[in-house]
Each structure stands twice: as C-alpha cells, then as structure tokens.
Amino acid sequence: MTPVTVRRWAWIHKWSSLVCTLFMLLLCLTGLPLIYHHEISHLLGNDVEAPVMAPGSPKADLDRVIAAGRAMYPDKMMMYMSQEADAPDIWNLTLGDNPTDENYKPIAVDARTAQVLAEPAFEGGGFMSMMFHLHVDLYAGIWGKLFLGAMGLLLIVAIVSGVVLYAPFMRKLEFGTVRRARTTRLKWLDLHNLLGIVTLVWALVVGATGMINTWAELLLDVWKTTELAEMVKPYEGAPAAAASAPLQQAVARAEAAEPGMKVAFVAFPGTPFTSTHHYGVFMRGESALTSRLYQPVLVDAQTGQVTDQRRLPWYLSALFISQPLHFGDYGGAWMKFLWALLDIATIIVLGSGLYLWLRRGAAARQAARAPAGAGMEAL
C-alpha cells in the first residue's frame, strides 16, 4: 500500500469515526440495559405473569378474551391482540379510540381463563423507556431513526477502513501486542487496535442490523402500499362493514391455512396492518429463527373465510431477522452475556479512539507552541 493510499484510508477512518463516535457511545451505553430488558423489567416488578395452572389447560375462546378487555373500556375499539412466544398463557390486547390511536390502552388477559391480569405500562416514562427512546430515535421520531441509521453506516465505514489500516500496521508487531513500556498514548493505541479487531465481526453485525432496524417504518410502508394493497384489492371501493365473524373462527381458519404455525398477533379491521374488511392474522413458526418471521393471513371479517395469504418479501424478512440479532435476545442467557461483554469492549474501543484523537490534537498544539529549533535540540 502506497503512502498516498494509506493517507487516504487514514482520512476516511478518522472522519467516519469522529462523526459517529459520540452517537455510537450513546447507543452502546443505552443498548447495554436493553440487552437485559426482560430481566430488568422483572426486577422492577413490571412483568405480567399468568397464574400457575395444570399443564395442558384448555385455552379460552378468543371472543371471551376480547370481551374481558372491552368490558374495561366499552367505549374503545379493538386494535390488536398479540401473544409472546415465551408467554403463551397471556394475550396482550390493545384498545383505542380509533384504529391508529397512539394513546392506546394495553390490557393483559389470561389465555386460559379470560380473566384480566393487568394493564401494563408499555410506554411509561421510566428508566427503560428513556433508554429505549434514546437508543431507537433520540425522541425525534422517524427522523431520529434515520439519523441514527446514517451513524450506523459511518460506523461500518470506520470499521472497514480500520481493518485496511490495521493490516500493514500489524506486520511490524505480533498480534495482540500492547506496548506497555512506551507512552500512555501508544498503549491506548495498541489496546484500541486489539479490541477493535476482537470485536470486528460483532460490531459489523450489530451496526448493520441496527442500521436496518432504523428503516423499519419505511420498509413497512413499502409493504403496505404494494403487497398488502394487492391482497385487499378485491375489496377496493367496497363500503366498510362491521366485523361480525367470531374471531375464534377466523383464527382457526388462519391456523388451518398455515399448519405448523402459531398466531403472533391479530390486526383488527381498519388498523394499519390490514384493511377495513379483514382480520389480519399474522402467523409465526416455532423455531428460534421462524418465530421471528411473520406470515400474514387475511380473513374476511364478515364471513370468516380466508381471502389471501402469502410470505413476506425478502426485505421484511431481513428486517425481522435483524431485530433479535441486534440485541442478541434469541440465544438464551449465554448469548446475552456475550453481547454485553462485546458491548462493553466496543465502548472501550470508541472511548479510546476519542481519547487518542484528543491527545493527538493536544500534542500537535504543544508542538506548534514550541520555540523554533526545539526539535533539533531534542535530537
């Protein structure tokens, strides 16, 4: 590699790193508690738990589950109902004043007894809510997400340029060398390079998946205006009609249409993930991977008949796979622990990079203030 090429890559690495470092530090610091958000929520007593019952207890009729939630807010409409893969005994209902109500009411209902368990504060103003918003959108909505996505892209550029520069640098030293007998700045440079290489793959994966996640709203909008619009096109122009088919019947037919899959969530007529004529029943698989991939089944809300079903396009599949990979929350406790360790190592890489830049600037200013000839005298 010629000196000109090295300087060019050094310039790319320097400025891509500097622009994104503070934001990446923020994302790493806020991402650390989010890795353990389930455990922290449990410690804070915010988890909703279903009472212990005999294994294999029969499930309640879904229309009874809905009736239990609506009895609490009779003036509100059903928006969604969902079920977590690791909590099959709880249905989470969402009720609002309109199909897109942002001030919705969440209600947890026992899936076996149809008894209301709690009203979870999903969007409370606590510590975890603050960490989530700082990590996801900086409290700036879609523009905050897109900005953080741009910072993720710069992180990837910084990593790639750092690898290009690291290769010729390491020809002079053994891998993992930290020159402790030299200056403090050199020790931090060696540590920065070492941890940067150790966390290379993880940082690329987390940076890339984080960048993809910031596009979630845009990708979902593309799907709704293309695939979903095509699925409901036969009902185009038809007047909206009140849902009259029992939900239990609609879900049973969706399950029959997708054998081997389970219901992840149901979008009620008029909400953004379906039409004014359909229940949108979104199915998922049972493995660690397929439980993150949804398959929509549209059921006519009046007749209870399946009208369309299809797989999600590749870009939404990539989005849904990237979400658990970003936080490492699909591989159990050991994977979360590994993600946390690598997150801490990345914080050190980012912090040391900032330190090295500040020290280099201080050294340059000190050299500029030195009297003429001082350098020759030192020699």
* Average pLDDT rounded to a whole number, residues 130-152: 92
Report the sign of the C-alpha dihedral through residues 202, 203, 209, 213, in that order.
positive
* Average pLDDT rounded to a whole number, residues 53-67: 93
3-state helix, strand, coil in the chain (%, to 5): 55, 10, 35
Identity of residue 97 = D
Compute the C-alpha angle 357/360/365, nearest 5°. Answer: 125
| CA gap 275, 267 in Å, rounded | 9
pLDDT per residue as tens digits for the range 216-260: 999 999 999 999 999 999 998 888 777 788 999 999 999 999 998
Is residue 379 pLDDT above 50, yes or no?
Answer: no
What percent of the chain has a predicted confidence (pLDDT) above 70? Answer: 84
Q: Of 200-204, 275-279, 345-349, 370-374, which has the strongest mean pLDDT?
A: 275-279
Q: What's the pTM value of the predicted model, to 2 decimals?
A: 0.81
* Nearest C-alpha neighbor of 9 from the set 153, 154, 162: 162
